[in-house]
Amino acid sequence: MECKLISRYSPLLVLFLASLVNAQTVSDILHPNYDDPSSSLKYYDIAKALTLGCNITKEGDYELSWSKDGENVSEIDSLRDRYKIIKEERKFIISRALESDAGSYTCSVRALNASRTFNVVANVIVKFESTEIGKTNMVEGEKLSLHCVAFGTNPKITWTVGNATLSTSTEHIVLEEDDKGVENARLTIESVLLSDYTDYTCEARNNATDITGKPAQVTITVRIRGKYAALYVFLGIIAEVVVLCAIILICEKRRNKTEIEESDTDNSPDQEKLKK
């Protein structure tokens, strides 16, 4: 019974085993330098070098080809004169990588019918728009708008305001996407309250920071003065002047009085003498 079953399915079994072995050898021939093998991911920092490596484990003089999004890298305009291939080390290097260099890269050896694909992701950087750096001192009732500019592949922004973490708008704080289409990049408070005096942190994550465990962050402290604070200072100065004047006046009066009294007593003996 069992033998019958096996003999009936043996051709299928052989095919199945053969395909397993084949898959095994094909994936073993090339060794890519992934940062995360489970997602075939390689990340880089913008303006730094991106180095893809693809070792060939099989003995022999094989030619390795590199392509991006299915096109030979030698035929891509945006890569012209920006990359080098080190044949002996099986490396493809972009020495100063741009945000737009992210994508799907493939190393392949045609003679072996072998290829491996890299998901190349640009790590995230964030900064506040430069015009906002000096605008951290505000008066109650003014409009606060912060633009957190994120560079990198597909960044996801969350904000921390004081001790609260926000990933969507609240009644008071509005979060919107910016011109680049990055969600939550703009934070707006139409009319600030004294209680909005706190730290505002923009944090961005993507597939690269999920691996490094280090999201990109930038923080700004927004200081808010009461509407009448300046008036109070002015009134305080006036009050101070008034009090000082009053003290001086009172002192002057007292001194005059004692001088008169003293001259009275000084005079009295003379007067007595005169009387004598």
Ligand X SMILES: *[C@@H]1O[C@H](CO)[C@@H](O)[C@H](O)[C@H]1NC(C)=O
- The residues of the shown chain that bind ligand X, judged by CB under 6 A, are 31, 33, 39, 41, 53, 55, 65, 72, 74, 113, 119, 121, 162-163, 207
User: Closer CB to ligand X, residue 103 or residue 129?
Assistant: 103
CA atoms within 13 A on the CB side of 124: 28
Residue 40 carries which DSSP code? T
CA distances (Å), origin 118, targets 37, 53, 143: 9, 10, 45
Q: Would you say 78 and 100 are in contact if contact means Cβ atoms under 8 Å apart?
A: yes
User: Closer CB to ligand X, residue 147 or residue 205?
Assistant: 205
We find the least distance from the C-beta atom of residue 193 to ligand X, in angstroms, to be 12
Q: Using CB atoms within 10 A of its CB, is residue 210 exposed (0-12), middle (13-18) or buried (19+)?
A: middle
We find the least distance from the C-beta atom of residue 26 to ligand X, in angstroms, to be 7
We find the least distance from the C-beta atom of residue 34 to ligand X, in angstroms, to be 8
We find the least distance from the C-beta atom of residue 191 to ligand X, in angstroms, to be 18
Calpha distance 155→144 (Å, rounded): 23
User: Closer CB to ligand X, residue 121 or residue 157?
Assistant: 121
Total residues found in the chain within this entry:
276
Give the amino acid at 110.
R
Give SS3 for 160. Answer: strand
User: Closer CB to ligand X, residue 114 or residue 147?
Assistant: 114
User: Closer CB to ligand X, residue 31 or residue 132?
Assistant: 31
User: Closer CB to ligand X, residue 51 or residue 129?
Assistant: 51
We find the least distance from the C-beta atom of residue 98 to ligand X, in angstroms, to be 16
User: Closer CB to ligand X, residue 53 or residue 188?
Assistant: 53
CA distances (Å), origin 203, targets 31, 48, 68, 130: 34, 22, 30, 17
We find the least distance from the C-beta atom of residue 246 to ligand X, in angstroms, to be 42
Q: How far, rounded to the nearest angstrom, does the alpha carbon of residue 110 sit from its chain's CA centroid?
A: 42
Calpha distance 209→51 (Å, rounded): 18
Give SS3 for 53. Answer: strand
We find the least distance from the C-beta atom of residue 106 to ligand X, in angstroms, to be 9
Q: What is the sign of the dihedral through the CA atoms of 179, 49, 54 and 68?
A: positive
